[in-house]
Amino acid sequence: MDNSYLKIDAILKSTFRITFTAYPLWILNFMLIIAFVPALALAGVLGGVSAVMAFESPTAFTPSWQRALRDLPFYVWLIIGAVAWIALVITTAISWILQASSMHGTSIAADKGSVSFKEALSLGKQRVMSLLTLSVIFGMIIGGLSLSPPLIALFFRGSLGVGFESFLQTALAPINFVLGIVLLLAMMSIALEDLKPGAAFKRGFSVFKTGWWAFIFVIATSGIVGGGVALVAAVLIGIPVFVGILIMIASPPIGIIVIVVGLIIVGVIVLVLMILTAVFTIVLYTLTYKEASRITS
């Protein structure tokens, strides 16, 4: 098939239309963000503690809480790591169902012009079982890859542990990226074509071969949009902090109130931007796959 049939301009036009009209997709992606909070919090604790352990032996100026952390035996961190790993596996399973529902809903909206929350969630038994099978297997793998660097850093402690952590994070970054793309293609094959896991990987590869240039465009576009939103969020967060600090020079209590209220308002705006970015990205990927699948032999 001639790849010219895959028209990016039409895909982008439909992406904007569905993003700003299919509100059930916003609800699903808000649920997706909430689902990740517990697992990311635990993973963040491990990462933060491993960074604290980068300092050499405690001195007279070392805070008591840092001394207490350093005195904890490694098996305690191993238990925390295991809990975080289980949480990541469960979160992965939930997130796959929510993402697949968003993809399924996007497909319905593309075909019918609109979609309801109930329609988006109506994946069917085979889709759900296929998604759970893959999400549990690869959730364990991805969770292990994500948590192993900070755990290794906590095991070795000091500069040696930090060195190992940095090396592993650098080495695993391309592996995680490629694995993420492969799993995304398989997920779309399941969500949009109701395929079983084995067939989903084969179909995803075939569809990618047909529209590889379009998928590269989508990856680049998603990265640019995500980076732009992150930059805007950083600027927005900085505004109330900067203004509040200036006001604190004259009136500290009012300055603190300005910072707190400002951060709450900005937090809501940033959350909306995060959901908007997530919906736009998943709709763009889904429509690209849907169109490439249509012209794949």
Strand, coil or helix: 174: helix
Q: Residue 71 burial by CB count (10 A; 0-12/13-18/19+): exposed, middle or buried?
A: exposed
As a whole number of angstroms, the distance between CA 154 and CA 149 comes to: 9
Alpha-carbon torsion angle 164, 166, 167, 169, nearest 10: 120
Per-residue pLDDT tens listing for the chain (297 residues): 444 456 788 898 999 999 999 999 999 999 988 887 776 676 676 667 666 665 555 555 666 766 677 777 778 878 888 888 888 888 888 889 999 999 999 999 999 988 999 999 999 899 999 999 998 898 888 888 877 877 777 777 666 666 776 777 777 778 888 888 999 999 999 999 989 988 999 999 999 988 888 899 888 988 898 899 989 999 999 999 899 999 988 888 898 999 999 999 999 999 999 999 999 999 999 999 998 888 876
Strand, coil or helix: 71: helix
Which residue pairs, CB below 8 angstroms and at least 24 apart, start in 123-128?
Answer: 123/97, 123/191, 124/194, 126/194, 126/196, 127/100, 127/190, 127/191, 127/194, 128/97
Residue 221 Cα to chain centre, angstroms: 16
Q: Residue 76 burial by CB count (10 A; 0-12/13-18/19+): exposed, middle or buried?
A: exposed
- CA-based nearest residue to 287, from 10, 1, 21: 10
Residue 222 contacts residue 284 (beta carbons within 8 Å): yes
- CA-based nearest residue to 211, from 99, 109, 290, 110: 290
Cα three-residue angle 257-263-267, rounded to 5 degrees:
150
| Total count of residues recorded for the chain | 297
Neighbours of 16 (CB within 10 A): 12
Predicted local confidence at residue 3, as pLDDT? 46
Residue-range domain boundaries for the chain: 3-210
Helix residue ranges, H only, 194-251:
197-210, 212-250
